[in-house]
């Protein structure tokens, strides 16, 4: 596997570059790391979409599209991600490797330059971001927020985060709410834009056949206008080691659905004092995220309660969730089975084949992600935010050493914190 | 195995056909740890009616998909579990014209390949297991019933087609899956899961001869003639229903419009037609088109707006849609733009630009192991060479695109399905 090279381009501006000729495309991503707060969440969610609408040189979507068509369908897409209580906003570009094209238009040079223009020289009117761009993108954001209801599983998963983490910024969706989106205006967004580009740390990633030294030069040129004189604000996720005592909180909501969606949320609590990410990955594979997991084998294969059941751990916040789609009258049975699976691990009921399967599943997934451009980009960003300092190879090696006792102890430290059920209208069986 | 090289796109492929009729393709990808093994069966949700012995068998909607769900079960346990224990990820899907089983792994290539070939060729269905699976599939169907995009898609296809099996979801419906029995699954397996009706593709840092040897020693069966399928009934070029409206809990109104295009496409002709269709649709309404930019700037469409072209099970269909407050107006503007472009007002520079992007897209698609496996299998069943896609793009002319738009993007050919919010 290729080694990643690391560069500090400026204060708080970091580049990770991987030189490889394995792929047919190159990739450059740029992310500004900003805190997830109620006041700024929707401003952040709108910003990259407005910046992508036009630059001083290419003032509208059509002229940008023409430029990218000339680069054989190079793409520069706005990105909006949430990791713990951090939002990452920016752009993701990918473009064909010139080795496979009939000409060499210097795609990398032109893409980095255009990305820099989008970030630092957006189309403006009277020194402000264009009002018409802001208005359509605010409306698009409102549409996206309203459309969260369309995907019932995703909606239920969003609701449990909102309800379980009420009062914490983690409970916010990466889009914000209709109320916060309504407040996005030409003035508020322009002010926010200026603040963000001068204070936010910037994570840049490159993967492709070019010399990392050239990528560094190109990115320095592209970001020459980035204001870095003031204080750089490093956002962080608040992790609570406390756990509520007593029975889990419960909320049932009704909607016109044909399938019920059950989600159980857990807090990792004390486990987060010394988070061991390799252990989290193996635990999750063993409990609910593989075809040999406790939950898959019981809820789906033994009891036929569901088509999908899965667990995931948010290692930034220290929370775990289990989600499944079931008949309306099966919520109690499904919840009992989820609980039984966790208790079995806490009692140390872990067969050798289960442990080995979980370890190998994790290692396979890490290797597989490292064999894809987007996977490498995701691993790099995750690693930068968590301050991991280890790559997929090292994480895989650590995963292979996770023991049954460690998983047992982890299960013993987990309690259900919240049970959410989305059920049909006029149904009383929940 | 025979080696064919494609220096233009930087790919090579080893191919062979075993005496039992199984076709094999190995695409070497040096420097990757990940390996993908993909076994495709030329049988899908639309293959509902076929001859078994002297009788014609008319099977319920969802049978091919049900069979796919049950294939993993072996007398000694679930093959999925064995793969998972080895750290390999196995899965399967059923489309209207293909069922495919695949395993992604970084180790144990030989063992995983043997198991893949074994479980797909050795059916084991019990009544109890079939009953159990029925409940799981019922949940899968309910999940899709709650998905507005799935609902729009099947509503549109029922509006477009009078008789085609594409009217029914591949998974079937709650009533049709009740009719599936172990005997029916055995019949379908016997009819379609023959080596000559399958194709094995392997992508990764893999020894091609090893793949061939394992396939030859593991996969039983003689080279049987192809099963006879009922030819799809012919369809009028016009839709059955012009407009359907539904209500559901959705955030914003959304629509999907579409039209039938040329049926019965196969071989290299189908590739050229698909590429022509994609270029035509991208010029009329793709994200780089004047129409898209104009509708987007006016707030009439958002990023959910898009188009698609599919050629499956003997039918080809163009679709477009997304969220909008005014579905009728957006569809009308698409028709007006089609009229403008097809009546001669097509900028040759715009065509040349879009062609460059199509070429870049064909290169980009070669990053994905899944995509390579799927397309080589589809090409194998249809009779063309997937790695020549970039060459076929060269052959598409502005006149091809203009003719496509003029013939198929016409108001009278178009049906529209709309979902509005309940409240």
Delineate the domains of chain B, giving CATH numbers in brackets: 2-218 (3.30.830.10), 243-421 (3.30.830.10)
pLDDT at A132: 97
Interface of A with B in 245-304 (CB under 8 A): 255-259, 290-292, 297, 300-301, 304
CA distance B382 to chain A (A): 26
* Any B CB within 8 A of A1 CB: yes
3-state secondary structure of B319: strand
pLDDT tens for A335-376 read 999 999 999 999 999 999 999 999 999 999 999 999 999 999
Contact B139 A365 (CB under 8 A): no
- Chain B residues lying within 8 Å of A356, measured CB to CB: 85
Q: For residue A262, what are the CA distances in angstroms to A265, A327, B133? A: 10, 10, 21
Same domain, A144 and A263: no
In the block, which residue shows the tokens 């659905």? A257
Same domain, A167 and A259: no
The residue count for chain A: 430
Nearest residue in chain B measured CA to CA from A22: B31
Instruction: Provide Rg for chain B, Cα atoms.
Output: 23
Residues A162, A165, A166, CA angle at the centre, nearest 5°? Answer: 70
Same domain, A44 and A172: yes
Same domain, A277 and A370: yes
In the block, which residue shows the tokens 């295009």? B261
pLDDT tens for B276-329 read 999 999 999 999 999 999 999 999 999 999 999 999 999 999 999 999 999 999
Report residues of chain B scoring pLDDT below 50: none
Q: How far apart are CA A260 and CA A255, in angstroms?
A: 9
- Residue A242: inside a domain, yes or no? no
Mutate to test the interface with B, among A65, A257, A373, A399 (most CBs of B within 10 A): A65
CA distance A12 to chain B (A): 32
Same domain, A58 and A135: yes
Contact A291 B83 (CB under 8 A): yes
CA distance B223 to chain A (A): 34
- Chain A residues lying within 8 Å of B422, measured CB to CB: 256
- Residue A238: inside a domain, yes or no? no
- Chain A residues lying within 8 Å of B298, measured CB to CB: 136
pLDDT tens for A69-105 read 999 999 999 999 999 999 999 999 999 999 999 999 9
Q: For residue B83, what are the CA distances in angstroms to B20, B31, B111? A: 26, 23, 9
Nearest residue in chain B measured CA to CA from A147: B251
Helices (H) and strands (E) in chain B, counts: 14, 16
Same domain, A131 and A214: yes
Torsion sign (Cα): B138, B143, B147, B149? negative
Q: For residue A272, what are the domain limits?
A: 249-424
Q: How far apart are CA A17 and CA A9, in angstroms?
A: 12
CA distance A398 to chain B (A): 15
Nearest residue in chain A measured CA to CA from B79: A291
pLDDT tens for A96-154 read 999 999 999 999 999 999 999 999 999 999 999 999 999 999 999 999 999 999 999 99
* Any B CB within 8 A of A307 CB: yes
The verdict on whether B68 is a catalytic residue reads yes
| Eight-state DSSP code of residue A271 | G
Q: How far apart are CA B238 and CA B415, in angstroms?
A: 9
CATH of the domain at A91: 3.30.830.10
Contact B33 A149 (CB under 8 A): no
pLDDT at A229: 87
Q: How far apart are CA A173 and CA A229, in angstroms?
A: 32
* Any B CB within 8 A of A397 CB: no
Residue A176 makes CB contacts below 8 A (sequence gap 6+) with A38, A41, A42, A45, A141, A145
Residues B327, B329, B331, CA angle at the centre, nearest 5°? Answer: 70
CA distance B56 to chain A (A): 32
- In the numeric block, which tokens belong to residue B273? 């037609």
| Eight-state DSSP code of residue B385 | -
Burial B182-196 (b: 16+ CB within 10 A, else e): bebbebbbebbbbbb
Q: Are A67 and A114 spatial neighbours (Cβ–Cβ below 8 Å)? A: yes
Q: How far apart are CA A416 and CA A160, in angstroms?
A: 12
* Any B CB within 8 A of A352 CB: no
Q: Are A57 and A117 spatial neighbours (Cβ–Cβ below 8 Å)? A: yes
Q: Are B308 and B228 spatial neighbours (Cβ–Cβ below 8 Å)? A: no
**Which residues on neighbouring strands pair with residue B112, listed in sequence order?**
none
CA neighbours closer than 13 Å in the CB half-sphere of residue A280: 20
Same domain, A89 and A202: yes
Q: How far apart are CA B250 and CA B421, in angstroms?
A: 5
Nearest residue in chain A measured CA to CA from B34: A368
- Residue A197: inside a domain, yes or no? yes
The secondary element (H helix, E strand) that includes residue B11 is strand B11-17
Interface of A with B in 6-65 (CB under 8 A): 20, 22-25, 60-62, 65
Torsion sign (Cα): B94, B95, B97, B101? negative
Q: Are B316 and B265 spatial neighbours (Cβ–Cβ below 8 Å)? A: yes
Among residues A267, A270, A279, the alpha carbon closest in space to that of A407 is found at: A279
CA torsion angle A234 A238 A239 A241 (round to 10): 130
CA torsion angle A51 A53 A57 A58 (round to 10): 150
C-beta neighbour count of A209 within 10 angstroms:
15
Contact B293 A357 (CB under 8 A): no
Confidence band, pLDDT 50/70/90 cuts, at residue A430:
very low
* Any B CB within 8 A of A151 CB: yes
pLDDT at A8: 96
Mutate to test the interface with A, among B364, B365, B366 (most CBs of A within 10 A): B364
Same domain, A70 and A217: yes
Q: How far apart are CA A295 and CA A340, in angstroms?
A: 9
**Which residues on neighbouring strands pair with residue B104, listed in sequence order?**
B36, B89
pLDDT at A244 exceeding the cut of 80: no
Burial B77-116 (b: 16+ CB within 10 A, else e): ebbbbbbbbbbbbbebebbbbbbbbbbbbbebbeebbbbb
- By the 10 Å C-beta count (0-12 exposed, 13-18 middle, 19+ buried), B118 is classed as middle
pLDDT at A266 exceeding the cut of 90: yes
Same domain, A419 and A291: yes
Q: For residue A204, what are the CA distances in angstroms to A12, A201, B253? A: 11, 10, 38
Q: Are B176 and B61 spatial neighbours (Cβ–Cβ below 8 Å)? A: yes
- Chain B residues lying within 8 Å of A257, measured CB to CB: 146, 249
Closest Cβ opposite residue B251 in set A22, A96, A147: A147
Contact B87 A364 (CB under 8 A): yes
Interface of A with B in 70-99 (CB under 8 A): 70-74, 94-97, 99
Confidence band, pLDDT 50/70/90 cuts, at residue A326:
very high
Q: Are A55 and A5 spatial neighbours (Cβ–Cβ below 8 Å)? A: no
- Residue A240: inside a domain, yes or no? no
Among residues A291, A105, A222, the alpha carbon closest in space to that of B78 is found at: A291
Q: For residue B330, what are the CA distances in angstroms to B119, B164, B290, B334, B335? A: 49, 28, 14, 6, 9
Q: Is the ipTM of this complex over 0.90?
A: yes
C-beta neighbour count of B72 within 10 angstroms:
21
CA distance A333 to chain B (A): 15
pLDDT at B155: 97
Query: Which member of B68, B235, B274, B323 is catalytic?
Result: B68
CA distance B267 to chain A (A): 25
Q: Of the candidates A207, A222, A237, which is a domain's last residue?
A: A222
Q: How far apart are CA A193 and CA A45, in angstroms?
A: 11
- Residue A239: inside a domain, yes or no? no
- Residue A93: inside a domain, yes or no? yes
Same domain, A174 and A256: no
Same domain, A122 and A271: no
Closest Cβ opposite residue B148 in set A74, A97, A150: A150
Contact A357 B87 (CB under 8 A): yes
In the block, which residue shows the tokens 């629509």? B255
- In the numeric block, which tokens belong to residue B148? 């507005």
Torsion sign (Cα): A53, A59, A62, A68? negative
Q: How far apart are CA B389 and CA B402, in angstroms?
A: 21
**Number of Cβ pairs < 8 A linking chain A and chain B:** 192
- Residue A237: inside a domain, yes or no? no
Residue B243 makes CB contacts below 8 A (sequence gap 6+) with B159, B415, B416, B417, B418
Q: How far apart are CA B142 and CA A280, in angstroms?
A: 32
pLDDT cut 90: percent of chain A above it: 93
Helices of type H across B50-167: 63-71, 79-85, 109-121, 127-145, 148-160
Contact B80 A291 (CB under 8 A): yes
Strands A249-255 and A415-424: parallel
Q: How far apart are CA A317 and CA A84, in angstroms?
A: 5
CA torsion angle B85 B86 B92 B98 (round to 10): -150
Same domain, A197 and A288: no
- Residue A233: inside a domain, yes or no? no
How many domains is chain A partitioned into structurally?
2
Q: Helices B348-364 and B398-408 sit at what angle, rounded to 10 degrees?
A: 90
CA torsion angle A177 A179 A184 A187 (round to 10): -150
- In the numeric block, which tokens belong to residue A310? 């899965």
Residues A8, A9, A14, CA angle at the centre, nearest 5°? Answer: 55
| Eight-state DSSP code of residue B28 | E
pLDDT average, residue stretch A183-212: 97
3-state secondary structure of A150: helix
Closest Cβ opposite residue B293 in set A61, A68, A145: A61
- Chain B residues lying within 8 Å of A291, measured CB to CB: 78, 80-81, 83-84, 89-90
Confidence band, pLDDT 50/70/90 cuts, at residue A427:
low
| Eight-state DSSP code of residue B178 | G
């Amino acid at each position: 596997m290729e080694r990643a090279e690391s560069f500090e381009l400026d204060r708080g501006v970091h580049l990770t570059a991987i030189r490889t000729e394995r792929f047919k495309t190159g990739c450059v991503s740029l992310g500004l790391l900003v805190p997830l707060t109620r006041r700024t969440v929707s401003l952040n969610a709108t910003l990259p979409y407005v910046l992508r609408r036009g630059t001083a040189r290419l003032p509208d979507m059509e002229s940008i599209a023409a430029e990218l068509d000339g680069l054989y369908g190079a793409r520069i897409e706005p990105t909006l991600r949430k990791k713990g209580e951090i939002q990452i906003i920016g752009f993701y570009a990918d473009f064909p490797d010139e080795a496979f094209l009939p000409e060499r238009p210097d795609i990398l040079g032109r893409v980095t330059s255009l990305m820099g223009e989008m970030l630092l020289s957006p189309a403006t009117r009277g020194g402000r971001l264009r009002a018409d761009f802001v208005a359509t993108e605010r409306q698009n954001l409102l549409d996206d927020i309203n459309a969260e209801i369309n995907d019932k599983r995703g909606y239920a998963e969003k609701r449990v985060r909102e309800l379980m983490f009420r009062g914490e910024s983690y409970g916010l969706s990466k889009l914000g709410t209709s109320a916060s989106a309504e407040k996005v205006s030409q003035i508020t967004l322009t002010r926010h834009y200026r603040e963000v580009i001068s204070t936010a740390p910037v994570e840049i990633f490159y993967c492709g056949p070019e010399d990392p030294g050239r990528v560094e030069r190109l990115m320095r040129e592209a970001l020459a206008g980035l204001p870095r004189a003031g204080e750089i604000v490093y956002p962080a996720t608040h992790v609570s080691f406390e756990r509520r005592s007593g029975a889990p909180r419960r909320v049932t909501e009704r909607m016109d659905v044909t399938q019920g969606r059950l989600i159980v949320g857990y807090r990792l609590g004390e486990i987060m004092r010394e988070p061991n990410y390799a252990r989290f990955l193996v635990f999750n594979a063993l409990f609910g995220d593989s075809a040999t997991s406790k939950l898959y084998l019981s809820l789906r294969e033994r009891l036929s309660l569901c088509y999908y059941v899965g667990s995931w751990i948010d290692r930034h916040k220290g929370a775990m969730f289990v989600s499944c789609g079931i008949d309306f009258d099966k919520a109690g049975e499904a919840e009992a089975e989820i609980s039984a699976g966790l208790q079995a691990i806490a009692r140390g009921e872990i067969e050798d084949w289960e442990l080995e399967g979980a370890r190998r599943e994790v290692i396979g997934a890490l290797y597989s992600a490292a064999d894809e451009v987007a996977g490498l980009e995701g691993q790099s960003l995750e690693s930068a935010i968590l301050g991991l300092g280890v790559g997929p190879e090292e994480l895989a090696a650590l995963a292979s050493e996770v023991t049954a006792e460690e998983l047992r102890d982890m299960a013993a430290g987990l309690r259900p914190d919240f049970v959410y059920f989305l059920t049909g209208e006029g149904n009383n069986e929940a | 195995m025979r080696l064919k090289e494609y220096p233009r796109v930087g790919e090579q492929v080893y191919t062979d056909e075993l005496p039992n009729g199984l076709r094999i393709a190995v695409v070497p990808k040096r420097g990757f740890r990940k390996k993908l093994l993909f076994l495709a069966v030329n049988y899908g949700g639309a293959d509902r009616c076929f001859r078994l012995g002297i009788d014609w068998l008319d099977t319920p909607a969802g049978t091919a998909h049900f069979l796919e769900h049950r294939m993993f079960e072996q007398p000694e346990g679930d093959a999925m579990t064995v793969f998972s224990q080895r750290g390999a990820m196995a899965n399967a899907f059923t489309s209207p014209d293909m069922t495919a089983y695949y395993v992604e792994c970084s180790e144990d290539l030989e063992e995983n390949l043997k198991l893949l070939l074994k479980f797909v060729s050795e059916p084991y269905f019990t009544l109890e297991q079939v009953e159990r699976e029925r409940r799981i599939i019922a949940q899968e169907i309910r999940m899709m019933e709650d998905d507005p995009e799935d609902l729009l898609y099947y509503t549109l296809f029922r509006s477009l087609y009078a008789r085609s099996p594409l009217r029914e979801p591949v998974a079937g419906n709650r009533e049709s899956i009740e009719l599936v029995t172990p005997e029916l699954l055995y019949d379908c397996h016997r009819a379609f899961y023959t080596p000559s009706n399958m194709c094995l593709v392997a992508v990764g840092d893999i020894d091609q001869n090893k793949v061939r040897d394992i396939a030859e020693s593991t996969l039983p069966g003689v080279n049987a003639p192809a099963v006879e399928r009922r030819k799809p009934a012919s369809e009028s070029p016009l839709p059955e229903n012009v407009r359907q409206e539904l209500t559901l809990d959705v955030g914003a109104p959304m629509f999907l419009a579409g039209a039938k295009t040329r049926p019965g496409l196969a071989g290299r002709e189908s590739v050229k037609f698909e590429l022509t269709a994609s270029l035509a649709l991208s010029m009329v309404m793709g994200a780089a088109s004047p129409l898209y930019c104009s509708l987007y700037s006016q707030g009439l469409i958002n990023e959910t707006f898009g188009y698609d072209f599919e050629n499956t099970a003997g039918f080809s269909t163009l679709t477009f849609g997304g969220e909008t407050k005014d579905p009728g107006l957006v569809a009308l503007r698409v028709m007006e733009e089609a009229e403008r472009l097809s009546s001669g007002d097509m900028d040759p520079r715009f065509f040349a630009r879009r062609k460059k992007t199509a070429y870049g897209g064909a290169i980009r698609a070669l990053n994905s192991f899944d995509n390579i496996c799927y397309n080589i299998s589809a090409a194998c069943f249809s009779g063309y060479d997937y790695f020549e896609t970039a060459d076929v793009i060269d052959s598409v002319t502005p006149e091809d695109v203009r003719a496509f738009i003029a013939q198929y993007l016409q108001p009278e050919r178009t049906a529209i399905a709309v979902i509005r919010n309940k409240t």
